[in-house]
Amino acid sequence: MNNAFVFPGIGLGIIASGATRVLPVFFSAAAHAVAGFISDQDLADGILCPPLDQLREVSIAVAKQVGAEAIKAGVAGGGCAFSRFKHNNDPERLNTLIEKMVWNPVYFNAMYGWTGSIALIDLTRRRIRTLSLPPEAYAGHIGGRGLDGMFVRSAATRAWDDEDMPVCLFTGPLTATIAPTSGRCHMMSRSPLTGLVGDASMGGKMGVQLKRAGWDGLPKKDTAKRLGIDRHG
């Protein structure tokens, strides 16, 4: 409940308002905003949370309520560090800023959840190729872990330190969407400790930035070299 419906909106409201302090009233305002999406009939039916298809609207409403409380309490900064648009502690202008700051995910083709592009990176040969998988491959290898496994399997007979043993980093179909915990991605290769498959789920911004740059994943060879990716891919 908190992670999905409350915290994203609180964070957006704090950032957009430029609040210099996080006040307890922010959380009560967020609770009231979420409650506004629950009808009397929902309560009679035992439903305490809004449906997930309203998650975006709930987050925006929470952000606006938090921002209004920041202005009322005198802790709003008059603007946001990430935007040239200044709200000047005007609630209407702040609401406009919040709506402008909400990210709209746009994918590059009709394969919803995927960009359709995988970067095959060979740092030893200084070569990058783009691979486009058919929809059946995505459907048959669910999520980042499934795609990781598809690429690692093809190198299963290689030693962990073979230059052709890939270290795979893949996103899932919900990465960079408004779904809860959608910032995660998955990494897989052969473990130098056990010689078996080693994999891990990763948080942070890597998965989101990878998907926004237009890539579903990076099967990378030669782990001794470093790789950088910017928002332009």
Q: Is the pLDDT assigned to residue 228 strictly greater than 70?
A: no
The pLDDT tens digits for 74-131 are 999 888 878 888 899 999 999 999 999 987 765 555 567 888 899 988 777 778 889 9
Q: Is the pLDDT assigned to residue 50 strictly greater than 60?
A: yes
The pLDDT tens digits for 156-197 are 888 888 888 889 999 998 898 888 888 889 999 988 888 888
Helices (H), the chain: 7-17, 24-35, 40-44, 55-73, 91-101, 135-140, 143-153, 206-212
Query: How much is the pLDDT for 90?
Result: 94
The pLDDT tens digits for 4-32 are 889 999 999 999 999 999 999 999 999 99
Beta bridge mates, 188: 168, 199
Provide CB contacts within 8 A for 172, sequence distance 6+.
113, 143, 144, 145, 184, 185, 186, 207
Query: How much is the pLDDT for 109?
Result: 52
**More confident position, 41 or 122:** 41
Query: By C-alpha distance, which of 189, 176, 181, 180 is closest to 216?
Result: 176
Contact 227, 210 (CB under 8 A): no
- Supply the DSSP string of 9-77, one letter for each residue: HHHHHHHHHT-SS--HHHHHHHHHHHHTT--HHHHHTT--S--GGGHHHHHHHHHHHHHHHHHHHT---
Domains of the chain by start residue, with CATH: 2-101 (3.40.50.10380), 118-221 (3.60.9.10)
